[in-house]
Chain A
C-alpha cells in the first residue's frame, strides 16, 4: 500500500484513525470485488483509487462490506465515513449527502443478444414492449423509469446478463464499466466476466459522474478528498489506474474540468408513490392468494395420502411435511430461484412462479397437518353411518367428512393465510416487487422513510386486520365444536 503518511498534507495527517469506506463486493467487477484467485482479497479499480487517495490524504482507508442499496443510509447512520462504489452523483442524492468531485465519467451502455434484430435503442425497445434489465437504485434504473421503458431491476449486476443470455429479458442497460466486463470480448481484460452471445447495442450515452459520498457536515473530509483527487488527476495517477482496468476513455479528460451538479429533484409526493405502493400491494395480494391456493391443494392431497395411503405413500407424505416445515422458507425460495437453474440449466423460473412454488410447498406442509387434525376429529361413526347407507369411501369423504372437518379446519387455516400474507415480504430476495420491496425501492432512491413507511404500513393493515377479524370470528363460531 505504500506509505500512509501524506507528505504534502499536514492537515489530514494528524489523524491516523482509518477512514471507513463502505462498498459492496457483490456489486462486482470492476469496482470492488473478491479476487477470484484469492477470495479473501478485495480488489478493483476503486480499491486502487482508495489506496492512492489514502497516500494523498495521509490517512488509511479501510474497506467495509455493505450492501449497495444501503450505502447512503449507512453513511447517514455513521456506520461508514465514505461511500464509494460507482455511486452516480445525482441531484436526488445530493439532497442527502455531499459528493467529492468526480473520479470517473461513466456512460450507459445498452447490451443485447448477438442475434437481436428487434431493436437498436431504448425507444424501439419501449415501442415493442421489450423488457430491459438493470441494477436497482441506479441512474440507469431511474432513466428507464422516467422514459417509461418496461424494465426489471436486480440486486446484483450479473443477474441481468444471465437473464439476458437465457432470454428471460431482452436487453440490459448498465454503466459502461460493467458492460465492458460482461459483454466486451477484450482478451486484455484480466477479470473479464464475459457472457457469451452478447453485443453492445449502439453507442454509450447519458453521461454521469461517479463521486465519493460523505456526510454533508464532514466539510473538512470533503476538502481533503477533493484535494487528493485533484493531485491524482494532476500526477496522472488516476489515469494510470483507469488504464490498468481498461476503463480509460477520451471522455475522462473532462474530469479535469470542474463540474457543478446541484441538489434538486422534487420530493416524492403522495400522488407519486401511492400508485407504486398500490401496485406492490396488488402483487402481495395476488402472491398470497395464488400461493395459498397451491398450499390448500397440496395440503389436502398430502393429508389424505398420509391418512389413507398405502405405507410408502404415507412415508412420503410424512417426509414432505417434516421436510418443508423444517426448513426456512427463505432458504427454499433462494434454492428454487437460484439453485435449480444452477443444477438444471435452462430451468429458470419466473420470480413470481418461484415464490408461489416456495410458499405453496412450505405452507402446504402446515395445511396438511391442519387438515389431518380436522379430518381425524370427525368420529368413526360418521364413516360407518355413511357406509351402511351404501356410500363408498371417496364419496363419504367428500360429502360427509370434509364438510364437517372444514369447520374445524377453517379457523387455523385463516390464521395461516394472515401469516402467509405477511411472510410474502421475504420474496424481495428473489426480485419479486411486492409491497415491502416497493417501499425499499422508493426509500432507497428518495428517502422519505416515514411518510412512505406509514402509507405502506397502512396498506398492510387495511388488508390484514379484516382477515384477522375473520379468523377470530370463525374461531368463535366453529372453533370449539365440530
Chain B
C-alpha cells in the first residue's frame, strides 16, 4: 500500500480572502518536500487542510485511499489524521503530562494499546530524538529544542506514514535548530514522507527532494531544489529568494 498524496484544485477562503487558489500538487510516498513562500502565502493553511484541521471550499485531497472533500468531513477523519503526524511551530506538548506520558497518551487512548506496549514503543522513539534521559520531565522543564524533539516523538508514536511540519524550527536558537533538523534527516533516511514548511534554505537544499513555493495562494514553483533555488523561473521567485537569503 502506498500513501501518495494528491491535492487537486484545492480552494480555500477565509471570508472574502482567497487563501488557496486551485492548488494542485502530488507527493509520492517517501518524498521529502520543502514548502516555501512569503508570509501569508497559504503554506500553513495547505498543511492543515492535509490533516483535516482546516476544511476547504473546492477541490479534493486524496491521501492513500482516503478522500477529503469540501463539506464531507470524512467519517474516517481520525484515520486520515493518523496517516500523517503533525508537528507545530509552538510544540503544543500537553503541559500536564510528563515527556513519556505525552508520547504514550494517544497510542493508549486511541489505538487501545496496553500501557506496557506503549512504553516499550515510546522509549526507543525518545532515544532516537535524544530525549531518553528526560522521560519523567514535564514540558515546562525543557528547552525549546527538547520540546520539539518530544513533539516529533509524540507524532511518531502513532506510527504515521509521514510528518507534516509547520516551521518547527523557527522558534529555536541556531544550535537547537540543528538538533531538530538532524532528527528530520534521520527520519527521511527511514523512508517517511516529510512535508516541511520551512525558512531553512540550507536545509531545504540539502535534505529536500522537492521544493514547492506557494505565493498568494498559488503554486509559484515546483521542482528539485537545485532548479527552484538556483535557477528560479519567475521574477517573483527571484525577489523572494533575495529577501530570504538576504
Contact = CB atoms under 8 A, between A and B. Distances in A.
Given A399-B105, A404-B95, A388 B110 contact: no
Chain B's interface size range is 20 to 34
A402 to B, nearest CB: 10
B28 to A, nearest CB: 22
A387 B53 contact: yes
Interface in B161-198: none
Interface stretch (B11-19, B35-43, B86-94): B86-94
B116 interface: no
A218 interface: no
A219 interface: no
A390 B106 contact: yes
A382 B110 CA distance: 16
B90 A389 contact: no
Interface in A367-402: 379, 381-382, 384-392, 395, 399-400
Contact of A389 (B52, B95, B110): B110
Contacts, number: 58
A400 B82 CA distance: 18
Contacts of B158: 389-390
A381 B86 CA distance: 12
Given A395-B109, A395-B110, A399-B105, A388 B95 contact: no
Nearest to B95: A404
B85 A388 contact: yes
B88 A390 contact: no
Contacts of A382: 92, 94
Contacts of A339: none
A392 B77 CA distance: 9
A482 B139 CA distance: 13
B88 A384 contact: yes
B78 A392 contact: yes
Interface in B130-173: 154-155, 158
B53 A388 contact: yes
B155 A388 contact: yes
Given A384-B53, A384-B88, A391 B109 contact: yes
Contact of A387 (B81, B94, B154, B155): B81
A314 to B, nearest CB: 21
Nearest to A402: B96
B110 A390 contact: yes
A10 interface: no
Contact of A385 (B52, B94, B109): B94
Given A395-B110, A400-B94, A381 B78 contact: no
B55 interface: no
B1 interface: no
A404 B81 contact: no
Nearest to B89: A381
Nearest to A381: B92
Contacts of A395: 109-110
A384 B51 CA distance: 10
Contact of B88 (A385, A399, A403, A407): A385
| Most chain B beta-carbon contacts within 10 A, residue among A385, A399, A403, A407 | A385
A395 B107 CA distance: 13
- By Cβ-Cβ distance, the 3 closest A-B pairs, closest first, are A388-B86, A385-B92, A389-B106
Interface of B: 51-53, 78-79, 81-82, 85-86, 88, 90, 92-96, 105-106, 109-110, 154-155, 158
Interface of A: 379, 381-382, 384-392, 395, 399-400, 403-404, 407, 482
Given A381-B90, A390-B110, A400-B105, 11 more contacts: A382-B92, A382-B94, A385-B93, A388-B81, A388-B155, A389-B85, A389-B110, A389-B154, A389-B158, A391-B109, A404-B95
